[in-house]
Structure 1
Amino acid sequence: MEKIQLRRSLLERRQSMPVSEWREKSDRICAHLETSSLFTQAKTILAYFSFRQEPDISSLFAHTKYRWGFPRCVGNSLSWHLWTSNDSVQIGAYGIVEPHPTAPILDPGEVDLILVPSVASDYQKYRLGYGGGYYDRLLAAADWENKSTIGIVFDFAYLPELPIDPWDKPLKIVCTETGLK
């Protein structure tokens, strides 16, 4: 199946999930992340605000021992901004919640871990994103290519194999509601 059709069918399945099931699975994902050594040893973590029924990892943001960074879409790339639970947010490109443009920008050297939203991931740790290439470009950039990454997906979207392109980069770990892979 091609990426476009696969993406469409997985997004439809994710968005048809009952809210109670989505909440329960999201909570289990967070519990698994909290036991990951990549997570517990990090100081600055890049994350995302859940969109279109992505796994909701917002309960993690209450951990004040971590510095949290969130993306803003700027042109065809992501700009990462420091955010605390006291900071306000705005709706940005594509209807995605993001920090205000005035929030401090995070330097790549400060970042220990990136929690990567994904439509799907496979056993080889490749991800299927939304098709905009934002994370592909980020993970290929010299400042970011060696950062630890955890792809976040529901278990139904953790597949044996995805179609991949030459620019696709594997993640370090994948986390679903059934555990770290």
Structure 2
Amino acid sequence: MNRHKQTLRRQFLQQRQALAPAVWQMQSDRICHHLANCHQFVEAQTILAYQSCRQEPNLHSLFKATDKQWGLSRCVGKDLRWHRWQPSELLVTGEYGILEPSAELPTLAASNVDLILVPAVAIDFNNYRLGYGGGYYDRLRADADWRKIPTIGIVFDFAYVESLPIEPWDLPLDAVCTELGFDRPQLGNSIIWHC
């Protein structure tokens, strides 16, 4: 495993977990405000999201959007399995201590999904993501069907940095949202962003 990535991951996680709860919530709310006013979010019917852990930006205020169909993942072996989920449905603790939807809920295929909100430890200005090291999103996006779906990386601004070490299999996200707003979209990307 890349030692430089491990060091960066530890530094960014420590910085994120040092955020005061009020600051964390305020910055999370700003991210949700930017997302809620983004054309891609407004137009999307089914959105894959995440449950905040280790002080990731909290998306709970977005889940109140009752006109959306939400999807959350479960870790199954080395892969993510996505399930339809509504905020009224209970979550269970998965193998990594992350809240996950019940395995009984209907699954979602790539063809049913309009947008993916991707958590990250850090993201660089070329929209490459530093994750937790498990490779779950890398494997998901290596699949041609899933790769077609627009992605927005979600991080606090301190973790939106000039460059990160990348691997040959890494794919850039389509956009990045922080509490300060959206980045510039990737040049040459076929998706037109109106955020």
TM over 0.5: yes
What residue number does 2:5 align with? 3
What residue number does 1:126 align with? 128
Q: Which runs of 4+ in 1 moved over 3 A?
A: none
Helix, strand or coil at the partner of 2:145: coil
User: Which structure 1 segments of 5+ residues have no match?
Assistant: none
Deviation readout 1:19-62 (Å, 9 max, x if unpaired): 01000000000000011111111000000000010000111011
Deviation, structure 1 residue 169: 0.6
Match of 1:64, as an amino acid? T
User: Which residue among 90, 93, 96 is the counterpart of 2:95?
Assistant: 93
What residue number does 2:173 align with? 171
Helix, strand or coil at the partner of 1:40: helix
What residue number does 1:54 align with? 56
State how far apart, in whole Å, the 2-side matches of 1:71 and 1:111 are: 13
Match of 1:74, as an amino acid? V
Deviation, structure 1 residue 173: 0.4
Q: How does 1:7-46 map to 2 (within 5 A)?
A: 7-46=9-48
State how far apart, in whole Å, the 1-side matches of 2:72 and 2:172 are: 21
User: Which residue among 151, 154, 157 is the counterpart of 2:159?
Assistant: 157
User: Which structure 2 segments of 5+ residues have no match?
Assistant: 184-195
State how far apart, in whole Å, the 1-side matches of 2:38 and 2:130 are: 22
Match of 1:114, as an amino acid? I
Identity %: 55
State how far apart, in whole Å, the 2-side matches of 1:75 and 1:104 are: 18
User: Which residue among 126, 138, 141 is the counterpart of 1:139?
Assistant: 141
Helix, strand or coil at the partner of 1:98: strand
State how far apart, in whole Å, the 2-side matches of 1:5 and 1:107 are: 35
State how far apart, in whole Å, the 1-side matches of 2:137 and 2:89 are: 24
The total of aligned residue pairs comes to 181
Deviation readout 1:143-181 (Å, 9 max, x if unpaired): 201110000000000000110001111000000000011
What residue number does 1:78 align with? 80
What residue number does 1:111 align with? 113
TM-score of the two chains, using structure 2 as the length reference: 0.91
State how far apart, in whole Å, the 2-side matches of 1:54 and 1:138 are: 20
Match of 1:49, as an amino acid? Q
TM-score of the two chains, using structure 1 as the length reference: 0.98
State how far apart, in whole Å, the 2-side matches of 1:5 and 1:157 are: 14
Deviation, structure 1 residue 107: 1.4
Match of 2:171, as an amino acid? K
Deviation, structure 1 residue 133: 0.2
State how far apart, in whole Å, the 2-side matches of 1:27 and 1:101 are: 29
